[in-house]
Amino acid sequence: MTDRDRDETGRARNARPRDRFGRPLPPGSPGVTRIPDDLDLTPTETLDFAQRLLDDGLPFYAHEVLEAAWKNGPFEERNLWQGLAQLAVGLTHIQRGNPKGARTLLRRAAERLNAAGPELHSVDTAGLTEHAEALSAELAAGQQISADRLRIRLRA
């Protein structure tokens, strides 16, 4: 059995570099800059950072930013941040050519965003829910999703 990368507290971490879709690369390969595990931003900073990553076609990394907000944020905002993170992972699965995984995550994202309620932190929950549902339906119908459909706007 091989030793796993661990942080200073002993928690398992994967320090391998990753490609633009978040897939691990061989050790020592150049990859996309990782999102720090201890990222702690304000909601506005989180949304701005995630939006820049989404605009750059990097939803896997946007997911990591949004996941940090979900883990560090108040419980009453959990549906928002978890839904946004799941939406970003759904987009990642589309990029990776995994329609089944994408549909699962997009459905979960729509459910969470719908439960989050309207306009928390100015996030367009209704529009994002509608978009996630539409992408899921298109994938279920076997349609190809163009790259421009993956460029979502978090705020209205």
**Which pLDDT score is estimated for 47?**
98
Residue 84 lies inside a defined structural domain of this protein: yes
CATH of the domain at 53: 1.10.3450.10
Residue 32 lies inside a defined structural domain of this protein: no
CA distance 58 to 60: 6
DSSP type of residue 144: P
The b/e string for 35-65 (b: 16+ C-beta within 10 A; e otherwise) is beeebebebeebbebbbebbeebbbbbbbbb
Report pLDDT digits (tens) over 96-140: 999 999 999 999 999 999 999 887 899 999 999 999 999 999 999
Residue 51 lies inside a defined structural domain of this protein: yes
| Phi (first) and psi of residue 77, to 5 degrees | -105, 5
Residue 13 lies inside a defined structural domain of this protein: no
Residue 17 lies inside a defined structural domain of this protein: no
The structural domain count of the chain equals 1
pLDDT of 74 over the 80 cut: yes
Residue 7 lies inside a defined structural domain of this protein: no
**Whole-Å CA distances, 81 to 2, 33, 68, 119:** 34, 22, 9, 13
Residue 97 lies inside a defined structural domain of this protein: yes
pLDDT of 4 over the 90 cut: no
Residue 3 lies inside a defined structural domain of this protein: no
Q: Which amino acid is at 49?
A: F
> Of 55, 49, 21, which is closest to residue 36 (Cα–Cα)?
49
Range of the domain at 49: 43-150
